[in-house]
Amino acid sequence: MPLVLTLHRARAPADRQRESRTLDEGSLTIGRGPGNGWVLLDPAQHLSKTHCVVSSAPGGYVLQDADGPRQATLIATGSEVAVAMEARRMLAEAGIAAAVVSLPCWELFALQSDEYRAGVLGQAPRFGVEAACGFGWERWIGTDGTFIGMTGYGASAPAADLFRHFGITPEAITTAVKRRLIPQEEDPNGR
């Protein structure tokens, strides 16, 4: 069964052009979403009610905003986004409102206006999450941001094992955010 890719281009809400392309199996619809986003709909999976908005054109975007005033911003670039989303869920259970920012292309994001970048990154403490070293992350998390990622190279194993080894887990992210946001009681013995 061929896959029909349907692209809706809208110049105005009432003005849609539709293009279809046969690709493979199933049916997938991509439509222009809010802002610079694209809406992906898969009728076979009944995703028309729960659609995904993909906004990679500007290089970075808020994938999931905080429920309430933003207390933390989790920034991830690729497969780490799923880890950040799970950490966001765990933080919400702990009463901490975190947003997840997907930053797939630093170069395109850097070309956006200061206002756009500030709106995406927000003012809350920032936490960069990437299965790589932290080199360059200070540009996006700030000098007081927290990087959660690899501390060395040369390890070889399945991705899930490496993520655990380097602490790129929802639990590690949640712990880092809590350490930053929740003042620790001072130990009278200086420990």
pLDDT at 131: 85
d(CA 49, CA 36): 20
More confident: 56 or 84: 84
pLDDT at 185: 53
**Torsion on CA atoms 31, 33, 37, 42, rounded to nearest 10:** -50
CATH of the domain at 146: 3.40.50.920
- Whose tokens are 């000098």? That residue is 143
The order of strands in the sheet holding 126-130 is: 61-64, 98-102, 72-76, 126-130, 146-149
Q: How many domains does the chain have?
A: 2
Instruction: State which residues form the domain around 106.
Output: 61-181
Q: Which of 54, 75, 93 is the last residue of a domain?
A: 54
pLDDT at 183: 73
167 pLDDT band, cuts 50/70/90, is confident
pTM for the complete prediction?
0.68
- Domain presence at residue 191: no
Is the per-residue pLDDT at 172 higher than 70?
yes
Give the closest residue to 45 by CA, choosing from 18, 27, 32: 27
Claim to verify: residue 88 and residue 146 sit in the same structural domain: yes
- Domain presence at residue 190: no
Claim to verify: residue 66 and residue 156 sit in the same structural domain: yes
pLDDT at 125: 97
More confident: 65 or 21: 65
- What lies within 8 Å, CB to CB, of 66 at 6+ separation is 72, 97, 98, 99, 124
186 pLDDT band, cuts 50/70/90, is low
- Domain presence at residue 153: yes
189 pLDDT band, cuts 50/70/90, is low
Q: Mean pLDDT over residues 142-153, rounded?
A: 87
17-62 pLDDT, tens per residue? 333 333 333 344 444 444 444 444 444 444 333 344 445 668 899 9
Is the per-residue pLDDT at 152 higher than 90?
no
Q: Mean pLDDT over residues 98-110, rounded?
A: 93
pLDDT at 120: 96
Give the closest residue to 77 by CA, choosing from 128, 113, 122, 29: 128
> What percentage of the chain reaches a pLDDT higher than 70?
66
